[in-house]
Amino acid sequence: MILPRFDVLVPETVDEACTMLADHADEGIRLLAGGTDLLVDLRRPIIPQHVPRCDGCPTHPEGRILSTIECTPSDSDSLMASGGSLRAALEDPRRASPAYLISLHKLDQLKGIERLKDGGLRIGALTTISEIERSREVRDGWTALAEGADNLGSPLVRNRGTLGGNIANARPAADMAVPTIALNGRLTLHGPSGARTISAKDFPRGPGISVIEPNEILTDINYPPPFPHSGSSYYKLANRKALEISTVGVAVWLALEEPDGPVEDVRVALGAVGPTPILAESVRETLVGKIPDEPALVKAAGAAAGDARPIDDHRGSAWYRVQMVELLTLRLLKIVLRRARGDR
Amino acid sequence: MKKIISLTVNGVTSDLAVEPRRTLLELLRDDLGLTGTKKGCGIGDCGACTVLLDGVATFSCLTLAIQADGCSVETVEGLAKDGKLNRLQQAFVNQGAIQCGFCTPGMLMMATELLRRNPQPSELDIRREISGNLCRCTGYQKIVEAIQVASEETP
Amino acid sequence: MSKYRILNTRAPRVDAVDKATGKALYTDDLKRPTMLTGAILHSPVAHARILNIDTSRAERLPGVKAVVTNREAGTTPYGVSPARYDETIFCHDKVRYVGDEIAAVAAVDLDTALEAVSLIKVDFEELPTILDGRAAMDEGQPQLHEIYKNNICAEVHWHFGDIEEGRQDSFLVRTDRLTSKMQDAAFMEPQSVLAETDSHGNLTAWSSTQAPHYVQRTLAMALGLPLHKVRVIKPAVGGGFGPKASCSTAELATCLLALKTGQPVKLTFDREQVFLHSRARHQFFHTMTTGVKRDGRLTFLEHRCILDGGAYASFGIAAIYYTGSLLGGPYRLKNMKYDGYRVVTNKPACGAQRGHGAVIARALFEVQLDRIAEELGMDPIELRLKNVMEAGETTCNELFVSSFGMREALQAVRDSTAWKKKRSLGGKTRSDGKGIGAACGFFVSGAGYPIYRSRTYHCTVITKVDEVGGGVTVSSGAADIGQGSDTVLAMITAEELGLSLDDVRVVSGDSSLSVDLGAYSSRTTLMTGHACREAALDAKRQILESIAGTLGVPPETLDLRDGQLVSLAGEIDFSELRKEYLQEHKGFTDLPDGPQLTFREASRIAFLERGAIVGTGKYRPPPLGGSFKGAAVGTSPAFGCSAQIAEVSVDLETGQITVEHITGAHDCGFAINVTQVEGQMQGSMMMGMGEALMEQIIYDKKGRIVNANLAEYKIPTALDMPHLDAIIVESNEPHGPYGAKEVGEGAIMPVIPSILNAIYDATGVRIDELPVTPERLVEAMQAKRDKRS
């Protein structure tokens, strides 16, 4: 597999990048951050997903013939020019074979972890997963995010992968997106007419599809200040202990009114059990304002499982995933409660 | 349309004309003749192509050469000095951490980054750090032991 | 005090430094002037008739130098076993699996080659597919090959002894099943070939192969070239494990392109193509019925197996025989019946992979032994100890074990891991999810017969002493693919000639140097080791005879030790010899002046006396095995054996399995290189663990591989692998050089069953389908709970 032909533009400011996005939208232009997703996506596989079926082929009028390429005479030249596979041509060619990539590696202003005056956290979209993994600040105040970073891929992936890339790719199992939703993160999208912020849970629309506009760039992600008596955690369920995409991912954030008091707020986010990461909204009513005893936690876990909408795929069946959502939510609630009460 | 980039590889800086889609791996192996860095999969699943980019262990198969413009790259060919193996390489040789050798350059670069950052890693630290570098020959046991031996000798 | 100076030590590998510095050259590292790049067109459909191939557009693409199909390649059948040559270089009438090769292109660069491939138009008439190995033999299924009625590529029906008599004799009889999936060897270096011709009609192919000799033969045969005009050279190879032991379309196509263009052509597989090519682990469907007496002694085994081997025979014939034959040991078993069926289906062809056809069979048998032990109320290791064979015994299928450290290996693992303290007996399950399991296995130390019917020597070795004196060059066709055979040959030669390893050069893996059947069936140490020792001793004899003649002493009174020629019978006066040597080397500064004649001098003088000193060695096993059909497969001059214990901890709710520790003991006869033996054991543990818990090729309904990459085809990472303890048992094999026999494949045998047995110990459930993923385990645990309530 090799990469299709493209040109690489290297902007020095975010505005420059947005302009480039607008200028080349028709020819296909995509953002390149760490590259661990995009550069894999762009490669042409050896065996195509689609094998053309020719009906009424002049050579074989019996019809229903498969072919390695479409046999329309007019295509003979265009196929040579595109240099891409038929599969790529059948998808939106601007995404599968963009003429341009914008490499963001010079945008230093999008890198870094910054504690804000209000106690919240701003993380630049180009901050690598490794930097997040190693940040004491993140681990102490936004533990689920650090644990997402712990479990993502492998050290090599973490060294290149970025928080923004992981979230912007809008994959349902994304190890940073799921904790970000549980932690009530907000995304800043920068476009030609300025910036807007949206809640992380409203960002993804489907697998690989988000609300981002074609000429917008995700620039940073903000996390609210930690509540007193709160804690968070993330668990990634997979088969082997590294280099995995999760079978099920669960992130839990919980805040107590007081250490022995009722729950002030709770957010449970689920990964890999739906077309997007899911905020399990049903959990709130089982716990908010209530004392988090065993029956309440069990009920909460059941509510989370009820919100999950998994499918069967080669990583796991829906049956197994739903059970694991319930099991892991219960386990994480207990861990997070201990953290909220101050026992780390 | 090729672009000119400036790259320092194992201490030697040069200007190179590269196609935008050329990966760092292709540049190292095909353009610079530094075949020590290996291609095991080309899509970031095996770690055989690991090099240090500004000191950070990176998949060279998923890094465009253009993204390395102005950076310093360290490959396995740069580890030995004056023909003498460095401590880590010697440990790999002595401990039997090398069988077919295909994962070895990537492992060495990954371990180099680890030991710079954490000179006294625990066994778990080591296993975690090389978890993205696949090996099919050794079962990792002697690789872990070699990295431990190399770390114990750190001044 | 060791009998040996270099043997049985931890000498560093002779190629380790080159591999640690990036100097070692693998096939894709090689470049030749005017080299072109090759690419292959693979079938995108699993089963179809080829109606038309149109290469015209590809040929017109600028930069394309050649496009080849069956038109240029011809349709000479080839394969692995001569009785089943069912492949052609390119498909001509049909494609039989997604990935089957239809055409190839040579172009100025990879990009152009791939683009040209995408311009080749092939029209197919789709045919129905058969993807389920269990159904492949049924009436009315699509037939892949005219020569394989009912898609049966081979079938084996053996009956040794009398199982009915055994059944009568049994106190307990059990039937158990195990199925697995097709798996991949997942070596780190994808296949790669560089082919070049010269002006005299010679073809040279550098290839990432385990078997230069077999590749040479197949290239010559399929391309219609005289054998002596074809040379195959193996550069450094990044792992083989079986799939690289036979000639592939990559090698054939690349050579054809080189012949056609007159330029060197290089073709390197993408990882996806490694999966498409496969030639790796078959899928197995085993059923075994085993009986024991009250005291645990085995009475009979009735074994039926279907091997799904994908679209072509490849090594499948050997596989189906190994599946049956290697259950004849390591336990005493008088009565064994085996019915095996190797079928073809519309999936990539399967071949040989570490342990060959015997791995999954061994897994089931060892699990079954555990179940028997449980029913009898016996400790599983005690049950095995009760049944193990001893050296000098013969199995019911006429495999003779000349050395057999099975008992010692079992005792070694049992005594090293507090087996008794950790075991919970009689099916009582702990609730902490921890478990421990044991298993055994054994394997051939080289196949008794080559893959083609011939009385050829299995290997020769030529050891030439430097004519200038000082060192030796060992030439061998043997293939070091990472297992360390070059080091073994160097150590043997250094030992016999009293040299340091640095003074022994090994040149290997080149078909023009000598015949060597290659690195498969775990043969190199025993077989090539034999030949190497013979060659070293031959060279030594010539040197000593020469010097003895000059000095007027009997040659038996001289020896070569530590780089010197020593006299075993009092002082000798070699001053004349030294004088001549010094005279010859006026001006040199590192002249010998010690009290002993150096090897450098002695070897030089011997050359002056006799001319070139060349020692040769050769090896072929004696006729082995019985006279029944298929008796050849499974025979071997020696058998290695293994015992292992695996400790696991299971998350009883998520089903996630962590292997905490594996302890293995392997009888390799004699460890020529201790580190390398341990390395092979540990590597086997990793592959077995992966196959037990996470490795499977997943197909969709169209016969396409869903997970043709190393992210979704999961092999264990360093975080998954536990600490691995490797204990070496040395039973001193009389047929092995210095007592040595195999380790490369035998050590994988106990891994899967010891893990399965440990999982049972931890959870109380048996899984009869591999791999044991967390979900599969949860399903089984819940089914058990539901059954109980």
How large is the greatest C-alpha to C-alpha distance in chain A, in angstroms? Answer: 80
Residue B63 with chain A: CB contacts under 8 Å: 35, 160
Nearest to A8 among B20, B42, B130 (CB): B20
Task: Indicate yes or no: CB of C654 within 8 angstroms of CB of A59.
Answer: no
Check whether residue B7 and residue B40 sit in a common domain: yes
When pLDDT is cut at 50, 70 and 90, the band that residue A62 belongs to is low
In this predicted structure, what is the pLDDT of residue C195? 98
Q: How far is B125 from chain C (nearest CA, A)?
A: 9
What distance in Å separates the CA atoms of residue C536 and residue C530, rounded to the nearest whole number? Answer: 10
Fold of C283-388+397-449+626-788: Aldehyde Oxidoreductase; domain 4 (3.30.365)
User: Burial letters for C156-166: b for 16+ Cβ neighbours within 10 Å, e otherwise?
Assistant: bebebbebeeb
Which residue of chain C comes nearest to B75, CA vs CA? Answer: C22
Q: What is the mean pLDDT of residues C509-514?
A: 97
pLDDT, tens only, B8-61: 999 999 999 999 999 999 999 999 999 999 999 999 999 999 999 999 999 999
**What is the CATH code of the structural domain delimited by A231-340?**
3.30.390.50
CB atoms under 10 Å from CB of A318, counted, come to: 14
Range of the domain at B49: 3-77
Residue C481 with chain B: CB contacts under 8 Å: 100
Which residue of chain A comes nearest to B117, CA vs CA? Answer: A134
In this predicted structure, what is the pLDDT of residue A98? 92
Residue C16 with chain B: CB contacts under 8 Å: 92-93, 98, 101
In this predicted structure, what is the pLDDT of residue A67? 77
Residue C10 with chain B: CB contacts under 8 Å: 96
Check whether residue B65 and residue B117 sit in a common domain: no
What distance in Å separates the CA atoms of residue C194 and residue C443, rounded to the nearest whole number? Answer: 34
Please count the residue pairs, one from chain B and one from chain C, whose beta carbons lie less than 8 angstroms apart. Answer: 174
Query: Cα-flanking dihedrals φ and ψ of residue C535, to 5°?
Result: -65, -40
When pLDDT is cut at 50, 70 and 90, the band that residue C310 belongs to is very high
Q: Show the tokens assigned to C535.
A: 């060659």
For C61, half-sphere exposure in the C-beta direction (CA atoms, 13 angstrom radius) is 29
Residues written for chain B = 155
Task: Indicate yes or no: CB of A66 within 8 angstroms of CB of C124.
Answer: yes
Chains with 3 or more CB pairs under 8 A to chain C: A, B
Nearest to A156 among B20, B59, B66 (CB): B59
Specify the CATH architecture of the domain A109-223: 2-Layer Sandwich (3.30)
Check whether residue B106 and residue B65 sit in a common domain: no
Using DSSP, state whether C502 is helix, strand or coil.
helix
Q: How far is B100 from chain C (nearest CA, A)?
A: 3
Q: Where are the domains of chain C?
A: 16-22+457-619, 31-127+189-277, 283-388+397-449+626-788
Residue B82 resides in a domain: no
CATH fold match for the domains A109-223 and A231-340? no
Sign of CA dihedral A132, A137, A139, A144: negative
β-pairing, A204-206 vs C64-68, is unpaired
Check whether residue B69 and residue B122 sit in a common domain: no
In this predicted structure, what is the pLDDT of residue B1? 84
What's at C94, amino acid-wise?
K
pLDDT, tens only, A136-149: 999 999 999 999 99
Nearest to C20 among B34, B104, B142 (CB): B104
Task: Indicate yes or no: CB of B135 within 8 angstroms of CB of C678.
Answer: no
β-pairing, A248-256 vs A263-271, is antiparallel
Residue C166 pLDDT greater than 70, yes or no:
yes
What distance in Å separates the CA atoms of residue A247 and residue A308, rounded to the nearest whole number? Answer: 13
Which residue of chain C comes nearest to B36, CA vs CA? Answer: C22
Fold of C31-127+189-277: Aldehyde Oxidoreductase; domain 3 (3.90.1170)
Contact C224, C28 (CB under 8 A): no
Task: Indicate yes or no: CB of B58 within 8 angstroms of CB of A156.
Answer: yes
β-pairing, B72-74 vs B50-53, is antiparallel
Q: How far is B62 from chain A (nearest CA, A)?
A: 6
In DSSP terms, C203 is beta-bridged to C197, C230
Nearest to A160 among B58, B110, B129 (CB): B58
pLDDT averaged over every residue in chain B: 96
Q: Say yes or no: C704 contacts chain A, CB-CB below 8 A.
A: yes
In this predicted structure, what is the pLDDT of residue B141? 98
Q: How far is C152 from chain A (nearest CA, A)?
A: 28
In this predicted structure, what is the pLDDT of residue C630? 81
Q: Where are the domains of chain A?
A: 7-103, 109-223, 231-340
In this predicted structure, what is the pLDDT of residue A324? 98
Count: domains in chain B: 2
Q: What is the mean pLDDT of residues C397-404?
A: 95
Q: What is the mean pLDDT of residues C413-418?
A: 80
Q: What is the mean pLDDT of residues A258-281?
A: 96
- The CATH code of the domain that includes B35 is 3.10.20.30
The larger pLDDT score, comparing residue C39 to residue C425, is at C39
Task: Indicate yes or no: CB of C118 within 8 angstroms of CB of A2.
Answer: no
Task: Indicate yes or no: CB of A156 within 8 angstroms of CB of B57.
Answer: yes
SS (H, E, C) C31-50: CCCCCEEEEEEECCCCCEEE
In this predicted structure, what is the pLDDT of residue A254? 98
Check whether residue B53 and residue B91 sit in a common domain: no
Following CA atoms B96, C441, C672, C404 in sequence, which dihedral angle do they give, to the nearest 10 degrees?
160
What distance in Å separates the CA atoms of residue A180 and residue B101, rounded to the nearest whole number? Answer: 41
Residue A343 pLDDT greater than 80, yes or no:
no
pLDDT, tens only, A281-313: 999 999 999 999 999 999 999 999 999 999 999
- The CATH code of the domain that includes B113 is 1.10.150.120
In this predicted structure, what is the pLDDT of residue C623? 87
Picking from A75-84, C107-116, C724-733, which range would have the lowest pLDDT averaged per residue?
Answer: A75-84
Q: Say yes or no: B50 contacts chain A, CB-CB below 8 A.
A: yes
Task: Indicate yes or no: CB of C19 within 8 angstroms of CB of B40.
Answer: no
Task: Indicate yes or no: CB of B44 within 8 angstroms of CB of A157.
Answer: yes
Check whether residue B127 and residue B67 sit in a common domain: no
When pLDDT is cut at 50, 70 and 90, the band that residue C648 belongs to is very high
Q: Show the tokens assigned to C493.
A: 């030669």
Find which of B140, B142, B145 to mutate to test the C interface (most C CBs within 10 Å of its CB).
Answer: B140
SS (H, E, C) C618-652: EECCCCCCCCCCCCCECECCCEEEEEEEEEEEECC
Contact C107, C36 (CB under 8 A): yes
Q: What percent of chain C has pLDDT over 70?
A: 98
When pLDDT is cut at 50, 70 and 90, the band that residue A89 belongs to is very low
Residue A82 pLDDT greater than 80, yes or no:
no
Q: Show the tokens assigned to C639.
A: 């058998």
Check whether residue B72 and residue B13 sit in a common domain: yes
Domain stops at, among B77, B109, B141: B77
Residue C564 pLDDT greater than 70, yes or no:
yes
Q: What is the mean pLDDT of residues C594-599?
A: 95
Task: Indicate yes or no: CB of B135 within 8 angstroms of CB of C188.
Answer: yes
Domain stops at, among B77, B108, B135: B77
Residue A70 pLDDT greater than 70, yes or no:
no
Residue B155 pLDDT greater than 60, yes or no:
no
Picking from C488-497, C631-640, C682-691, which range would have the lowest pLDDT averaged per residue?
Answer: C631-640
Domain stops at, among B77, B106, B139: B77
Check whether residue B62 and residue B35 sit in a common domain: yes
Q: Show the tokens assigned to A6.
A: 């493209």
Check whether residue B65 and residue B93 sit in a common domain: no
What distance in Å separates the CA atoms of residue C134 and residue C123, rounded to the nearest whole number? Answer: 30
Residue found under tokens 């080839």: C78
**What is the CATH code of the structural domain delimited by C16-22+457-619?**
3.30.365.10
